[in-house]
Amino acid sequence: RKEVEQDPGPFNVPEGATVAFNCTYSNSASQSFFWYRQDCRKEPKLLMSVYSSGNEDGRFTAQLNRASQYISLLIRDSKLSDSATYLCVVNSYSSASKIIFGSGTRLSIRP
Amino acid sequence: GAGVSQSPSNKVTEKGKDVELRCDPISGHTALYWYRQSLGQGLEFLIYFQGNSAPDKSGLPSDRFSAERTGGSVSTLTIQRTQQEDSAVYLCASSWTGTSSYNEQFFGPGTRLTVL
């Protein structure tokens, strides 16, 4: 089993829709969590951190469920520009190799 | 300000040849990471530098891979006797500090390596 798993998608949704996807992690010692966004043939960029109490940044909401060991990302009122691959990142602080990037979930927003 | 830069952007080489990939991190960033990303896959951790030292080399796939960092700045990833399975995008990232607390990693544009 991979340490960090994501549904690869693609999620294909119409503009304006709400879409959510999860990322599960296996290491219960994991301490910090993030979502990165990667556009096609581009480098990943930080989208948002994920806090224990959940957090929002505009149309984006991130949540953490430690009991079930998953994080989620919800995008409301999706835009064409949201089309990208979303990578979850899990860090247990024990070593650099424990900063684990998921394989990503592809999201495609159609007009 | 200037972001992370990598060179070359593309490299095509023949099987068995050695290649050198270069990363210039953001000025002042002490932590530097190398990752490999194959088509449609996630990022595979290769090596981490804190300053000039590499406390974590656990991700290097074989002894054909090596990396160094000089002056706490530029890093070079060397792949000897390249194989076709080495073909991937090699991404470099830097951050202010290391892994004691997570700092946002800023990625370079990557070097796309193709081994024929």
Taking residues A88-94, report their average pLDDT.
Answer: 79
Give the model's pLDDT for residue A96.
58
Check A102 against B100: CB less than 8 A apart.
no
Q: How far is CA B113 from CA A48, B21, B65, B81, in A?
A: 30, 9, 14, 13
B101 compared with B58, residue with greater pLDDT: B58
With residues binned 3-state (H G I as helix, E B as strand, rest as coil), the percentages for chain B, rounded to 5, are 5, 50, 50
Pairing between strand B88-95 and B31-37? antiparallel
Taking residues B34-47, report their average pLDDT.
Answer: 88
Nearest to A57 by CA among A67, A48, A45, A44: A48
Check A96 against B104: CB less than 8 A apart.
no
Give the model's pLDDT for residue B70.
87
**Closest-CA distance of chain B to residue A48, Å:** 10
Taking residues B87-113, report their average pLDDT.
Answer: 86
What sign for the dihedral angle of Cα B11, B12, B15, B18? negative
Other Cβ atoms less than 10 A from the Cβ of A10: the count is: 12
b/e map B17-45, b = 16+ CB within 10 Å: eebebebbbbeebbbbbbbbbeeeebbbb
Which chain A residues touch B101 with a CB distance below 8 Å?
93
Q: Which two tokens stand for residue B104?
A: 């946002």
Give the model's pLDDT for residue A43.
92
Phi, psi values for residue B43, rounded to 5°: -85, 130
Taking residues B68-82, report their average pLDDT.
Answer: 94
Q: Are A62 and A54 spatial neighbours (Cβ–Cβ below 8 Å)?
A: yes
Taking residues A7-18, report their average pLDDT.
Answer: 94
Q: Tell me: the pLDDT tens digits for A57-81?
A: 999 999 999 999 999 999 999 999 9
Contacts of residue B107, Cβ cutoff 8 Å, sequence gap at least 6? A43, A44, A45, B4, B91, B92, B93
Residue A86 pLDDT exceeds 80: yes
Q: Tell me: the pLDDT tens digits for A25-61?
A: 998 888 889 999 999 989 999 999 998 889 999 999 9
Residue B54 pLDDT exceeds 90: no
Q: Which two tokens stand for residue A15?
A: 């503009």
Which chain B residues touch A42 with a CB distance below 8 Å?
109
